[in-house]
Structure 1
Amino acid sequence: MSKAEIIIIATPAIGNLVPAVEFATHLTTTEPLLSATILIIHMPQRPLVSDYTGSRATAAAGGNIRFLHLPPADPPNPDQYQSSVAFISILVEKHKPQVRHLLTNWDNSIRVAGFFVDMFCTSMIDVADELGIPCYLFFASPAAFLGFMLHLPTLNTQLSELTPEFDESETELAIPSFCNPVPPKVLPSFFLKRNGDDGYSWFLRHARRYRGAKGIVVNTFQELEPFALKSFSSPDIPPVHPVGPLLDHVGPAKWLSDLSQSEMIMTWLDQQPTSSVVLLCFGSMGSLSVAQLREIALGLERTGFRFLWSLRESARGKLGLPSDYSDVQDVLPDGFLERTAGMGLVCGWAPQVAILAHRATGGFVSHCGWNSILESLWHGVPVATWPVYAEQQMNAFELVRELGLAAEIRLEYRQGSDLVLAEEIERGVRGLMEGDGEVRERVKETSEKSRMALMADGSSNVCLEHLIEELMAEI
């Protein structure tokens, strides 16, 4: 058989790029006749993305995956947009001429079998259609949220019938990918701000394009989200391929230049008893107010549990990423670090994957980003939900109410909302570390299923092989 190429373009954000690169790795490892080119859009506000792609490109040199930086487009002015999604969507759209030129002048000796675009890159479907290249959607969020996005155009037509007070009401929505009615308070921020934020119009625009894809690849597995995946049986929805969990099992530890903090954290964990430490980490884009940090500190101190707390300072500007505090004592209660010196460790950036894999980690207070959820399930570490932004509230709702795989601190919390008080944090951490044995047992079972899904004859591996057959048939 002839060799074939797949092209992948993803949003310039770690949460989008990492699973896309892992997907390319799975594809090219499973089928050596496939190679992959990952198109990179430069975004100077996020140097972390450049560090990641640079390191992965070096590691992949000479293999079946290459990273290709697109020539820069005239960037939009961030100040013209209310949301980062609007800015990023425009930025991606401005790169259509570069992608069109690249694919038009592609080496004819290697056929392009498929073009994979992520959830915010749907404008690239136009380029694929113009050139007759099969185009697929790569969806890095859960199948349940994919169902919400597919349902969004229908929901949008119903909004005119809803009162302005709907978002604060007890009225619940029937969304086909959720078996339980969904309360408005856990809907994504873009939906709740639909009348005063340009993010909603862009989400709606992307959602309408999803049905134009030849297929949809989702970073999930059949055993985790059976109800949501079954909801995609409608003939007007493209075939859905659950091929996950797609995980970077080493994480940034293999591409950060300064590993001193990571080594310090792992040395500290080595000294802790098995399953005794609760990890608090809110993702590469998550940060909390100083007032909230002090409530967390008080709550942790009251529990008496060992803890590892990744504490980040809010980003400057809507497109930036959180950074480490120069001195965490400035934002914590007086004497907190001294009083907890024998039981806890407060740090900046933390190697989350390595921490979750460590025997000492017994629980995870998480922002409920999908990559983090999959990592915690893979390693059998139960989660207490504390969503912050994006679709994380819906992820938390799915974990707690749909799947019974997490303890609850909050489901509806989001950046800038009311404080979660120390008493509630203490109760949530105790519930996570001492509480429901059924949740911990279900997480352990799901961990085993996640690994089996990727084995020979596992559900995700079978789906991946069917997708490869479809791609190779194109040549």
Structure 2
Amino acid sequence: MAPHAVIIPYPVQGHINPLIRLSEKLASHGIIITFVNTDFNHCKMMKARNRHGILQDPSFNIRFVQVTDGLPFDFKRTAVSVEFFNALMTTMRASAEDLLDKLLIQSCEPPVSCVIGSSFLPWTIDIAKKFELPFVAFWSQAVSVQVIYRHLSMIIDNGDFPPKKQGMIDYIPGLPPMHPQDLPSDIQSGDPSNPVHQVIVQQLPALEEAAWIISNTVYELERQASNVTKEKSPVFLSIGPLIPSIYFEGEGKLEDFSIASPRSLSLWAESNCLPWLDSRPERSVCYVSFGSLAQISRVQVQEIARGLMESEQAFLWVIRPDLVSSEAGKTTSIDYIDILPGGFLEKTKDRGLLVPWSPQLLVLSHPSVGGFFTHGGWNSTVESLSLGVPMLVFPQGIEQSTNRMLVVNQWKIGLRLDSCRDDAVIEGAEIAKCVKALLKDEEMRKRSNQVRDTIMKAVGEGGSSWKNMNDFVDYLMSLPTKKMHLSRGSKR
């Protein structure tokens, strides 16, 4: 009987994407997947698909179910707010627990074998333990970030929470010396009440109890950090990059491939920008996107626009309707025409395209794209690494400053904006200079291609990620498939 894994992602796009791709990989090996969405995200996905097509695909072993986070549908879930985190830690937890209880009571076929949960939802291990199921933790960030948090007590003891204004952080095992601005934003702030910090700290004990910790990274890219993690947690596995294998199958494979994943779970409708990219010369376009969560001030958006205008380079810019910061707690859609500098559209109409959302993997794999101006979220970073696209990294919080350090200092395949403070407004002139450099630096492009080749070797037969994924599949296949007949309220 096939094993059956219940996968529970943290309900934001950057966590959903890698976990749906993991689901597809596991399903291709015959493993049954129950993928847990919030009802809010499910409705957004249906709207993004114009209500056509269904997520459920009986032929592919993935079943989609919904739970609730208890928040109103107009609540701004992109905001880093106490209300949002509390809802996920309480209402969503209770709803997910009820769902798993129903699955077990109904004796679904095949029986549930394990829970794979985002480590950002530390309660997922509690649910697994309650129902006596093995728990697999999915770490959604760089393993270097995990090393930082595993040594948080060392950082505190050295007086670097918040970090000193001068001096380097040069004592964390497995990591190179770092500038204080390279630390995650919650450590830089030094505020233990920060909800992001609280969630991250709460997830660490769950990692110690997990049967496996799987991570969307590649061993060869974070070798020293991975070795340190392995010493503390032998069950740690690097199985990245979690992107469809077709992107590694050579030129020409994507010509008729309009949707990278038939089960795409995008929260926004993806604009068809590929014909526009087809019209541009090779490696001439700067792709600009700041992910699914980042919110940027109106002033900074205007400076980005000025920078793109002054750079005189071609660009594809993703401007989400909720990109500009607005009233906390409410979703506000803003027309980009209202926030762009006067004359921007007219001056850039022959070399620029603005879209509300894009099929990012298809964009990054397009031959006309020569650079990625990004917030540096790990999902975007992994995708850019895998497709050999150099990056201009503009962190917007969480662990993105650490990702920038890896991209710029360790792998040397990206640029940083030379601001003295990450919270300063970056002027358009500096952005223009960096965008030009990003598209013209041939040595950086060569290094990006070398990193891509390293990743392709890791995912190829016999590579590190290939072996780790097979080991993980073998583990799931070995799990017992006993049926459980429970009654509601039964004590486990």
- Pairwise CA distance, 1:161: 5.9
CA separation in 2, counterparts of 1:221 and 1:82?
33
In the alignment, what sits opposite 1:442? 447
Shift in CA distance, 302/109, structure 1 to aligned 2, threshold 3 Å: closer
In the alignment, what sits opposite 1:433? 439
In the alignment, what sits opposite 2:27? 28
Deviations 1:285-324 (A, max 9, x none): 223222112222222222221112222332656566775x
Shift in CA distance, 41/238, structure 1 to aligned 2, threshold 3 Å: farther
CA separation in 2, counterparts of 1:230 and 1:358?
34
In the alignment, what sits opposite 2:57? 60
* Kept after mapping to 2: 8 A contact 1:113/1:472: no
Q: Does 1:5 align with 2:4?
A: yes
TM-score calculated relative to the size of structure 1: 0.86
In the alignment, what sits opposite 1:314? 324
* Kept after mapping to 1: 8 A contact 2:393/2:417: yes
In the alignment, what sits opposite 1:280? 288
- Pairwise CA distance, 1:3: 1.8
In the TM superposition, 1:34-433 aligns within 5 A as 34-43=31-40, 47-48=43-44, 58=55, 60-70=57-67, 72=68, 82=82, 84-95=84-95, 97-102=97-102, 104-105=104-105, 107=107, 110-152=110-152, 154-155=153-154, 159=156, 162=159, 166-172=163-169, 174-178=171-175, 180-193=176-189, 194-234=191-231, 236-247=232-243, 250=259, 262-263=271-272, 265-312=273-320, 313-314=323-324, 316=326, 323=333, 325-326=334-335, 328-409=336-417, 417-433=423-439
In the alignment, what sits opposite 2:18? 19
Deviations 1:158-201 (A, max 9, x none): 526627763534342533342x1223223222223424533322
Shift in CA distance, 91/170, structure 1 to aligned 2, threshold 3 Å: farther
Amino acid aligned to 1:102: K
CA separation in 2, counterparts of 1:168 and 1:92?
39
* Kept after mapping to 2: 8 A contact 1:167/1:184: yes
Provide the alpha-carbon RMSD of the alignment: 3.2
Shift in CA distance, 348/161, structure 1 to aligned 2, threshold 3 Å: same
* Kept after mapping to 1: 8 A contact 2:212/2:235: yes
Match of 1:287, SS state, is: coil
Amino acid aligned to 2:431: I
Deviations 1:99-122 (A, max 9, x none): 451354252763433211102222
Shift in CA distance, 346/112, structure 1 to aligned 2, threshold 3 Å: closer
Q: Does 1:454 align with 2:451?
A: no
CA separation in 2, counterparts of 1:90 and 1:289?
31
CA separation in 2, counterparts of 1:150 and 1:322?
37
Shift in CA distance, 307/132, structure 1 to aligned 2, threshold 3 Å: same
Which stretch has the larger CA shift, 59-68 or 15-24? Answer: 59-68
* Kept after mapping to 1: 8 A contact 2:135/2:210: yes
Match of 2:230, SS state, is: coil
TM-score calculated relative to the size of structure 2: 0.83
* Kept after mapping to 2: 8 A contact 1:142/1:370: yes
Question: Larger relative CO (CA 8 A, sep 6+): 1 or 2?
Answer: 2
- Pairwise CA distance, 1:375: 1.6
Unaligned runs of 5+ in 1: none
* Kept after mapping to 2: 8 A contact 1:387/1:411: no
| Count of aligned pairs | 458
CA separation in 2, counterparts of 1:83 and 1:148?
27
Match of 1:246, SS state, is: coil
Match of 2:14, SS state, is: helix
* Kept after mapping to 1: 8 A contact 2:391/2:438: yes
